[in-house]
């Protein structure tokens, strides 16, 4: 695996690989790699024959007071984990100053409207502008044909897919299903903040979205009823503070009233447990016989 830390060298590597006839995939990450990330790398190998994993803890997507400073960073550990899982062709791990030369964010931002109005948007000021901007920068450095993202961050995936479509990036966007612990908890780098009772109670999130999925697939059409159902598992999780338990459409991510047959909806939840902010979701197609 080549380790590249500056933008020009990354662009040169991508150009070289493309000229050699390779199809390029990028897996953008913030490091602290777990099995969920390794699944993204395996998927990238299926859609391309030159895989870059980027590792960059992006300061501009953390709102003030969030966990930017304590976010786990372990490049050596990440390289080791990647190597064990078959590796990547390139690990692109620029230091903050290579990405933001004057030490803070640049003056240019990429914004996606509408899709950022609900779910995490209102709770994380500036978060999605930080994500869309850094992913645009990673795309410019790595020049991928395809980019692979986890669907645990479903809103992030839909926002980025819309960015790629509206700004003509010409990149295939590949979403990969959430990888879960045995008890259902979605894998996340932030799970390592959890211990003891907080870890046990964190399964309320997956129970919440699994419950929503079951209700929708069994023909329930009132979204408010499903929202109420999604809060029930938290009655057994006193350490958890729910930020939202919401059902939105799969197009503009706006809250849904009644479900329509064939519609794709996303049941999504966010909660803070013992200082960790966790999210989960289920992407569900409303059965064709509903209505
Ligand atoms: O999902 C993440 O890890 C980050 O939001 C991403 C896409 C790497 C951008 O920093």
Residue at 182 is within a domain:
no
pLDDT at 291 over 80: no
Residue at 291 is within a domain:
no
Residue 104: pLDDT band (50, 70, 90) is confident
User: Of the given ranges (22-31, 51-60, 101-110, 229-238), which has the lowest mean pLDDT?
Assistant: 101-110
Indicate whether 205 and 162 sit together in one domain: no
Task: Taking residues 63-90, report their average pLDDT.
Answer: 95
Backbone Cα Rg of the chain: 19
CATH number of domain containing 141: 3.40.50.620
Indicate whether 132 and 159 sit together in one domain: yes
Contacts of 65 (CB under 8 A, 6+ apart): none
Domain end, chosen from 131, 151, 176, is at 176
Indicate whether 164 and 269 sit together in one domain: no
- What atom in ligand 1 is closest to the CA of residue 135? 9
What DSSP string describes 41-71? HHHHHHH-SEEEEEE---GGGSPTTSSTTTS
Q: Which residues pair with 273 in a beta bridge?
A: 240, 276
Indicate whether 211 and 171 sit together in one domain: no
Range of the domain at 78: 2-176
Indicate whether 11 and 148 sit together in one domain: yes
Q: Across the chain, what does the average pLDDT equal?
A: 97
The pLDDT, as a whole number, for residue 243 is 98
131 lines ligand 1 (CB under 6 A): yes
Domain end, chosen from 116, 141, 176, is at 176
Largest CA distance in the chain: 57
The pLDDT, as a whole number, for residue 62 is 95
**Cα dihedral 85, 87, 88, 91 sign:** positive
The pLDDT, as a whole number, for residue 31 is 97
134 lines ligand 1 (CB under 6 A): yes
Residue at 66 is within a domain:
yes
Task: Taking residues 12-33, report their average pLDDT.
Answer: 98
The pLDDT, as a whole number, for residue 160 is 99
Q: Please tell me the residue having the least CA distance from ligand 1 atom 3.
A: 29
Residue at 183 is within a domain:
no
Indicate whether 144 and 205 sit together in one domain: no
Residue at 181 is within a domain:
no
159 lines ligand 1 (CB under 6 A): no
Nearest to 241 by CA among 268, 269, 272, 270: 272
Residue at 158 is within a domain:
yes
Indicate whether 194 and 123 sit together in one domain: no
Q: How far is the CA of 29 from the centre of ligand 1 (A)?
A: 5
Rounded (10°) angle between helices 127-142 and 154-166: 60
The pLDDT, as a whole number, for residue 234 is 98
pLDDT tens per residue across span 125-168? 999 999 999 999 999 999 999 999 999 999 999 999 999 999 99
Indicate whether 107 and 11 sit together in one domain: yes
Indicate whether 7 and 75 sit together in one domain: yes
Indicate whether 224 and 108 sit together in one domain: no
Q: Mutate which of 57, 134, 154, 159 to test ligand 1's pocket (most atoms within 8 Å of Cβ)?
A: 134
Residue at 257 is within a domain:
yes
Q: Measured between alpha carbons, how far is 129 from 273 in angstroms, rounded to an integer?
A: 25
Number of structural domains (the chain) is 2
Domain end, chosen from 116, 142, 176, is at 176
The pLDDT, as a whole number, for residue 190 is 95
Q: How far is the CA of 291 from the centre of ligand 1 (A)?
A: 38
131 to 29, 139, 218: CA distances (angstroms): 11, 12, 35
Q: Measured between alpha carbons, how far is 115 from 162 in angstroms, rounded to an integer?
A: 9
Considering the chain, what percentage of its residues have pLDDT values greater than 90? 97
pLDDT at 201 over 80: yes
The pLDDT, as a whole number, for residue 184 is 98
CATH number of domain containing 236: 3.30.1300.10
> Which of 34, 37, 50, 127 is flagged as catalytic?
37
Task: Taking residues 4-29, report their average pLDDT.
Answer: 98
CA 235 to chain centre: 27
Indicate whether 29 and 103 sit together in one domain: yes
Indicate whether 163 and 258 sit together in one domain: no
Residue at 289 is within a domain:
no
- What atom in ligand 1 is closest to the CA of residue 160? 7
């Amino acid at each position: 695996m080549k380790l590249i830390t500056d933008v020009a060298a990354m662009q040169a590597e991508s150009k070289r690989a493309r000229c050699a006839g390779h199809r390029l995939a990028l897996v953008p990450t913030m490091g602290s790699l777990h099995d969920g990330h390794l699944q993204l790398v395996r998927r990238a190998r299926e859609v391309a024959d030159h895989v870059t994993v980027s590792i960059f803890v992006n300061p501009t997507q953390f709102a003030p007071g969030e966990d930017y400073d304590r976010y786990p960073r372990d490049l050596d550990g990440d390289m080791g984990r990647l190597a064990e899982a078959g590796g990547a062709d390139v690990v692109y791990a620029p230091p903050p100053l290579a990405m933001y030369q004057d030490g803070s964010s640049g003056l240019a931002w990429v914004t996606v409207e509408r899709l950022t109005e609900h779910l995490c948007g209102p709770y994380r000021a500036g978060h999605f502008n930080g994500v869309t901007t850094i992913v645009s920068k990673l795309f410019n450095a790595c020049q991928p044909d395809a980019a692979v993202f986890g669907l645990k961050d479903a809103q992030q995936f839909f926002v980025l897919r819309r960015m790629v479509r509206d700004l003509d990036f010409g990149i295939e966007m590949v979403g990969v299903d959430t990888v879960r612990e045995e008890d259902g908890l979605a894998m996340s780098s932030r799970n390592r903040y959890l211990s003891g009772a907080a870890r046990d109670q964190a399964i309320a999130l997956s129970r919440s979205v699994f419950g929503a999925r079951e209700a929708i697939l069994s023909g329930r059409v009132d979204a408010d009823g499903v929202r109420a159902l999604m809060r029930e598992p938290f009655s057994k999780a006193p350490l958890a503070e729910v930020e939202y338990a919401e059902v939105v459409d799969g197009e503009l991510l706006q809250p849904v009233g009644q479900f329509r047959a064939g519609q794709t909806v996303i049941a999504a939840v966010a909660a803070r447990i013992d200082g960790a902010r966790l999210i989960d979701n289920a992407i569900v197609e409303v059965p064709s016989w509903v209505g």
